[in-house]
């Protein structure tokens, strides 16, 4: 359940460290974003001397949430933190490595590049 | 579909039950119900919580080593489907389960055997002290045949042979 002002960790090596959600993409008054949703975020903390810098507005897709993800087969998955991966307008990740286990839902939402880079898919 | 073990209490988690928690290092913890999940969130150590299998095994309350446990090892290689194999496996599961539970209950019975003599002594003592609840003291005094039969229990110190009715 990510909403504007939520701070998220960055789960890839795209040189950003922490993002703050500004907007949930989807509908005009959409409240919350879950795993697999695209958000607009601002970079709150970045690795110094890199192309991405602080207070830059980027889009990201949410990889993991502390709020449980419920599947149709009854499986419920909860992560330890809220994390996102920085993407561009087409949905390709900006980084080259993904950290952490990725939920299978991302494959159905056509984030295949992210899923292929992930070390583990749940 | 895979039957997991609850990380906290070690019971089987069937599909559709419980929560899986994924830690940041990608280690997955399965919980069978919210009781175990909440206990784990409280950072309780299952080895110290009395009702978990981990505690019971650690403190010798339950059977730890047995050949029947070998059958339940986690196997990551998928088996090619063979009807005969599947049928035999299902039959074997039932048999092995029965053998394992019989051995486990035997283990517990043996463990509790040593307390039997102690419990008998305590019961005798309690009967002597509380004989007035069983039979009225007056009745005992009048009719001596209603006296308690003398049961000898082997103890180190000498026991009183006669049962004196309690006097108020």
Ordered by where they begin, the domains of chain A are 6-121 (2.40.150.20)
Half-sphere exposure (Cβ direction) of A100: Cα atoms closer than 13 Å: 23
A26 touches B: beta carbon within 8 Å: no
Candidate from A76, A81, A101 with C-beta closest to B19: A76
Interface contact B23-A80, CB threshold 8 A? yes
Q: How many C-beta neighbours within 10 Å does residue A22 have?
A: 15
Element (H, E) at B13: strand B12-13
Distance from CA of B123 to the nearest CA of A (A): 52
A83: phi > 0 → left, psi -120 to 50 → alpha, else beta; which?
beta
Strands (E), A25-114: 38-46, 57-64, 69-70, 76-79, 83-87, 101-102
A72 touches B: beta carbon within 8 Å: no
pLDDT value, residue A78: 95
ipTM of the complex: 0.90
Compute the distance between CA of residue B153 and CA of residue A2 in angstroms, rounded to an integer: 72
Q: A64 near A100, Cβ under 8 Å?
A: yes
| 3-class DSSP assignment, residue A79 | strand
CATH topology (fold) of B1-60: Ribosomal Protein L24e; Chain: T; (2.30.170)
pLDDT in tens, B67-121: 888 888 888 888 899 999 999 999 999 999 999 999 999 999 999 888 888 889 9
Burial label, A32 (beta-carbon count in 10 A; 0-12, 13-18, 19+): middle
Interface contact B20-A76, CB threshold 8 A? yes
pLDDT in tens, A107-121: 999 999 999 999 989
pLDDT confidence bin for B161, thresholds 50/70/90: low
Candidate from B16, B17, B20 with C-beta closest to A77: B20
Residue A63 with chain B: CB contacts under 8 Å: none
Mention every residue, 6+ apart, whose C-beta is less than 8 A from residue A54: A43, A44, A45, A46
Residue B17 with chain A: CB contacts under 8 Å: 74
Q: A120: nearest CA in chain B?
A: B26
Compute the distance between CA of residue B158 and CA of residue B168 in angstroms, rounded to an integer: 26
pLDDT in tens, A50-99: 888 899 999 999 999 999 999 999 999 999 999 999 999 988 999 999 99
For chains A and B, what is the number of CB pairs under 8 angstroms? 40
A87 backbone dihedrals φ, ψ, rounded to 5°: -125, 170
Q: A96 near A85, Cβ under 8 Å?
A: no
Distance from CA of B30 to the nearest CA of A (A): 9
């Amino acid at each position: 359940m990510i909403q504007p002002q939520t701070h998220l960790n960055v789960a890839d090596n795209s040189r950003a460290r922490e993002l703050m959600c500004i907007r949930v993409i989807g509908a005009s008054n959409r409240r919350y974003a879950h795993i697999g949703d695209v958000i607009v975020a601002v970079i709150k903390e970045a690795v110094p001397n890199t192309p991405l810098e602080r207070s830059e507005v980027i889009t990201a897709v949410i990889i993991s949430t502390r709020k449980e993800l419920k599947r149709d087969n009854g499986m419920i998955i909860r992560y330890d933190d809220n994390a996102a991966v920085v993407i561009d307008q087409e949905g390709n990740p900006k980084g080259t490595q993904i950290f952490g286990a990725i939920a299978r839902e991302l494959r159905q939402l056509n984030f295949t590049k992210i899923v292929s880079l992930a070390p583990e898919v749940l | 579909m895979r039957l997991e073990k609850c990380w906290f209490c070690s019971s089987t988690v069937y599909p559709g039950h419980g929560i899986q928690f994924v830690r940041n290092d990608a280690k997955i913890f399965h919980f069978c119900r919210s009781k175990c999940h909440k206990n784990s969130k409280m950072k309780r150590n299952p080895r110290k919580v009395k009702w978990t299998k981990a505690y019971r095994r650690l403190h010798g309350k339950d059977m730890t080593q047995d050949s029947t446990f070998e059958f339940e090892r986690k196997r990551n290689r998928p088996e090619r489907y063979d009807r005969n194999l599947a049928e035999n496996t299902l039959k074997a599961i039932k048999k092995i389960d029965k053998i394992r539970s019989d051995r486990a209950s035997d283990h517990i019975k043996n463990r509790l055997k040593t307390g039997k003599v102690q419990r008998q002594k305590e019961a005798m003592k309690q009967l002597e002290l509380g004989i007035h609840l069983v039979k009225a003291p007056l009745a005992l005094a009048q009719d001596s045949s209603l006296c308690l039969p003398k049961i000898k229990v082997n103890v180190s110190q000498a026991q009183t042979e006669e049962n004196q009715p309690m006097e108020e």
